């Protein structure tokens, strides 16, 4: 009879609180968004389940030192193994042609990051300390793995919330960006037609990851874990001689790593960490970050036009918010709406990809200044 | 004049046939690029002389889709 | 750590890296194109020029 009593008392049911139930509801909501509305399901679904798993009392999945999910989080994320590997996969999937064909887009990738800096100031003024503010504002870079990387290094307490915010807003880009883009541009500017991109040779494609690795990692060494892996993945792809490695990076590796990333990050969202007023502020700041980054990207493009003989369509600046390829699609749609002769999709891919680099560089600066 | 693909991807639909008269800005094809349906519009008016692609085939950036007279 | 130092180093470094990268890529493209151009020139010199045809 004692054994039966122990089993009953060992059951988690007795430890369920309102907070626990609320977290389950939040997890179910995210699952609904992922499955029914298809908001970034590859990340949001594992994150949502991780959130559920973290709120199963006594299951101990996130028990420090012993929990199964805790181990993945500690050794995978805190030990910087998973996010760089995600970048390896992304690099293997990325075609940098649009960037190489028009290197000016690299500056646009930088322009959108200025919005992150503005959000940083705002977040700090709202009471977050610098490390938390950095982890929150980097949401504006629209880069999941980078957001997670910065969160893990600088402010693990906000990591889960920033990851959920980042992926949710990436899915909402078609709603968040257009009003900002239209507000800041004139109809005439939106109608600017951009000439077809020049073809890019194989040699250029091979040299891009090498040159980039040297430049980026020497100037901002703290971004190296992400950027070096990004570039080696790209090198594998462009070399054309390691097809097996490329295929595995794009498929098996990415799939496995993303599952583990989502689950372990979601699992940090226990009731204690999520049910705080700061989380609402984080979501608010995340949205502001996306909006500001769209604005600064577009504004920089307009500014660059003052000095360019061949004008760029300022809309592509919005693609510096590196939700790949969502923002590029939004730019194309709005450009086409203004002028049917405009096909901005590939032109927008330039800033879109440059923005990935930009966010990682800014993340590296935050980490090296604030000390990870 | 040639109508080229300004986005790479898969041709989903060709909306005209050889011999058809097209107007400027008329939709002539649909290409799926980056999982987005992009419409291709004629840059000037004319008569369709050649159609070089069909639904299902992949096109590269700059590849000729149609030729107008 | 001062907020403004973080802000300034953030903005400066992002633009600096992108500018340097842009210049490096531009330089590399230039070098590639001049190498390719030089490889094309020798061919015409190989053919004899016939006059008075």
Q: CA-to-CA distance for A257 and A77, rounded, in angstroms? A: 11
- Residues 6+ positions from A113 with CB-CB distance below 8 Å: A140, A141, A293, A296, A320, A355, A358, A359, A361, A362, C10, C11, C14
Beta-ladder partners of B37: B32
Looking at the structure of chain C, the number of domains it has is 1
- Model confidence over A328-364: pLDDT tens digits? 999 999 999 999 889 999 999 999 999 999 999 999 9
Q: What residues of C are in contact with residue A103 (Cβ under 8 Å)? A: 21-22, 25-26
CB spacing of A110 vs C14 below 8 angstroms: yes
Q: What is the pLDDT of residue C36?
A: 80
CB spacing of B61 vs A196 below 8 angstroms: yes
Which chain B residue lies closest to A325 (C-alpha atoms)? Answer: B34
Residue A255 has pLDDT above 60, yes or no: yes
In this prediction the ipTM stands at 0.90
Q: CA-to-CA distance for A93 and A246, rounded, in angstroms? A: 8
How close A289 comes to chain C (CA, Å)? 15
Q: What is the layout of strands, in order, in the sheet containing B46-51?
A: B2-4, B64-68, B46-51, B21-22
Q: CA-to-CA distance for A182 and A190, rounded, in angstroms? A: 8
Phi, psi of A143, deg, nearest 5: -130, 110
How close B48 comes to chain A (CA, Å)? 18
Q: What residues of A are in contact with residue C3 (Cβ under 8 Å)? A: 120-121, 124, 130
Which chain B residue lies closest to A326 (C-alpha atoms)? Answer: B34
Q: CA-to-CA distance for A203 and A151, rounded, in angstroms? A: 37
Q: What is the pLDDT of residue A2?
A: 85
- Domains belonging to chain B, first-starting first, are 2-68 (2.40.50.100)
Which chain C residue lies closest to A357 (C-alpha atoms)? Answer: C18
Burial of A188 (0-12, 13-18, 19+ CB in 10 A): exposed
Residue C37 belongs to some domain of the structure: yes
Q: What is the pLDDT of residue A11?
A: 83
Q: Quick check: helix, strand or coil at residue B38?
A: strand
**In chain C, what percentage of residues exceed pLDDT 90?**
40
Residue A74: which pLDDT band, with cuts at 50, 70 and 90? Answer: very high
Most confident stretch, A52-61, A195-204, A218-227: A218-227
Alpha carbon separation from A175 to A70, A168, A180, A287 (Å, rounded)? 35, 12, 10, 11
Residue C23 has pLDDT above 90, yes or no: yes
- For A71, what's the count of Cα atoms within 13 Å in the CB-facing half-sphere? 6
Tokens of A18: 């309102």
B11 with B57: CB under 8 angstroms? Answer: yes
Residue B34 has its nearest CB partner, among A197, A325, A336, at A325
CB spacing of C6 vs A130 below 8 angstroms: yes
Residue A316 has pLDDT above 50, yes or no: yes
Mean pLDDT across A158-170: 95
Residue C50 belongs to some domain of the structure: no
**Structural domain boundaries, residue A101:** 2-370
Residue A361 has its nearest CB partner, among C5, C14, C25, at C14
Q: CA-to-CA distance for A138 and A133, rounded, in angstroms? A: 8
Residue A58: which pLDDT band, with cuts at 50, 70 and 90? Answer: confident
Residue A17 has pLDDT above 70, yes or no: yes
Looking at the structure of chain A, the number of domains it has is 1
Q: CA-to-CA distance for A163 and A230, rounded, in angstroms? A: 20
**Structural domain boundaries, residue C19:** 3-41
Q: CA-to-CA distance for A360 and A321, rounded, in angstroms? A: 12
A44 with A168: CB under 8 angstroms? Answer: yes
- Locus of tokens 């693990």: A156
For residue A277, count other CB atoms closer than 10 A to its CB: 7
Mean pLDDT across A179-190: 95
CB spacing of C20 vs A215 below 8 angstroms: yes
Which residues in A have their CB inside 8 Å of a CB on C?
A: 100, 103-104, 106-107, 109-110, 113-114, 116-117, 120-121, 124, 130, 134, 201, 203-204, 207-208, 211-212, 214-216, 219-220, 354, 357-358, 361-362, 365-366, 369-370
| Percentage helix, strand, coil for chain A under 3-state DSSP, each rounded to 5 | 75, 0, 25
Residue A37 has pLDDT above 80, yes or no: yes
Question: Is residue A325 within 8 angstroms of chain B, CB to CB?
Answer: yes
Beta-ladder partners of B33: B36
DSSP string, A104-162: THHHHHHHHHHHHHHHHHHHHHTT--HHHHHHHHGGGG--HHHHHHHHHHH-HHHHHHH
What does pTM read for this prediction? 0.90
Residue C3 has its nearest CB partner, among A130, A354, A358, at A130
Residue B35 has pLDDT above 90, yes or no: no
- Locus of tokens 């008269």: B21
Alpha carbon separation from C31 to A98, A269, A327 (Å, rounded)? 19, 52, 33
Q: CA-to-CA distance for B19 and B21, rounded, in angstroms? A: 6
Q: How many CB pairs under 8 A join A and C?
A: 93
For residue C20, count other CB atoms closer than 10 A to its CB: 17
Residue C53: which pLDDT band, with cuts at 50, 70 and 90? Answer: very low
- Residues 6+ positions from B56 with CB-CB distance below 8 Å: B10, B11
How close B25 comes to chain A (CA, Å)? 7
């Amino acid at each position: 009879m004692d054994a039966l009593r122990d089993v009953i008392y060992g059951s988690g049911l007795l430890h369920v609180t309102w907070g626990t139930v609320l977290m389950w509801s939040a997890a179910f909501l995210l699952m609904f968004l992922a499955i029914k509305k298809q908001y970034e399901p590859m990340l949001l679904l594992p994150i949502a389940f991780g959130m559920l798993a973290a709120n199963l009392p006594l299951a101990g999945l996130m028990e420090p030192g012993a929990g199964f999910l805790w181990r993945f989080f500690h050794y995978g994320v805190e030990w910087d193994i998973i996010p760089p590997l995600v970048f390896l996969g992304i690099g293997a999937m990325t075609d940098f042609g649009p960037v190489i064909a028009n290197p000016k887009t690299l500056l646009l990738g930088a322009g959108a990051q200025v919005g992150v800096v503005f959000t940083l100031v705002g977040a700090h003024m709202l009471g977050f300390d610098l490390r938390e503010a950095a982890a929150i504002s980097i949401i504006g870079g629209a880069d999941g793995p980078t957001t997670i990387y910065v969160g893990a290094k600088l402010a693990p307490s906000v990591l889960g919330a920033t990851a959920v915010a980042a992926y949710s807003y990436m899915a909402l880009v078609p709603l968040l960006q257009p009003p900002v883009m239209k507000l800041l541009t004139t109809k005439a500017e939106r109608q600017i037609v951009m000439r077809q991109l020049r073809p890019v040779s194989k040699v250029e494609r091979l040299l891009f990851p090498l040159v980039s690795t040297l430049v980026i990692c020497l100037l901002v060494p703290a971004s190296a874990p992400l950027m070096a892996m990004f570039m080696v993945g790209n090198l594998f792809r462009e070399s054309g001689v390691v097809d097996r490695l490329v295929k595995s990076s794009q498929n098996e590796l990415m799939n496995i790593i993303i599952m583990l990333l989502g689950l372990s990050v979601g699992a940090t969202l226990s009731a204690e960490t999520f049910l705080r007023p700061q989380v609402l502020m984080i979501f608010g700041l995340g949205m502001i970050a996306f909006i500001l980054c769209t604005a600064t990207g577009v504004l920089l493009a307009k500014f660059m036009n003052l000095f360019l003989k061949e004008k760029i369509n300022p809309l592509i600046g919005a693609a510096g918010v590196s939700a790949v390829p969502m923002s590029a699609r939004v730019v194309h749609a709005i450009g086409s709406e203004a002028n049917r002769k405009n096909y901005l999709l590939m032109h927008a891919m330039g800033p879109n990809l440059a923005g990935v680099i930009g966010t990682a560089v800014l993340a590296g600066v935050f980490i090296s200044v604030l000390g990870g | 004049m040639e109508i080229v693909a300004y986005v790479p991807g898969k041709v989903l639909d060709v909306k005209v046939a050889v011999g058809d008269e097209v107007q400027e800005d008329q939709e002539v094809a649909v290409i799926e690029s980056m999982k987005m349906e992009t419409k291709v519009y004629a840059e000037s008016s004319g008569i369709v002389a050649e159609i070089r692609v069909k639904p299902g085939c992949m096109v590269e950036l700059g590849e000729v889709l149609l030729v107008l007279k | 750590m001062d907020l403004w130092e973080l802000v300034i180093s953030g903005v400066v470094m992002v633009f600096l890296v992108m500018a340097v990268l842009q210049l490096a890529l531009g330089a590399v493209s230039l070098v590639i194109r001049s190498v390719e151009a030089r490889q094309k020139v020798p061919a015409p010199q190989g053919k004899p020029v016939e006059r008075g045809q």
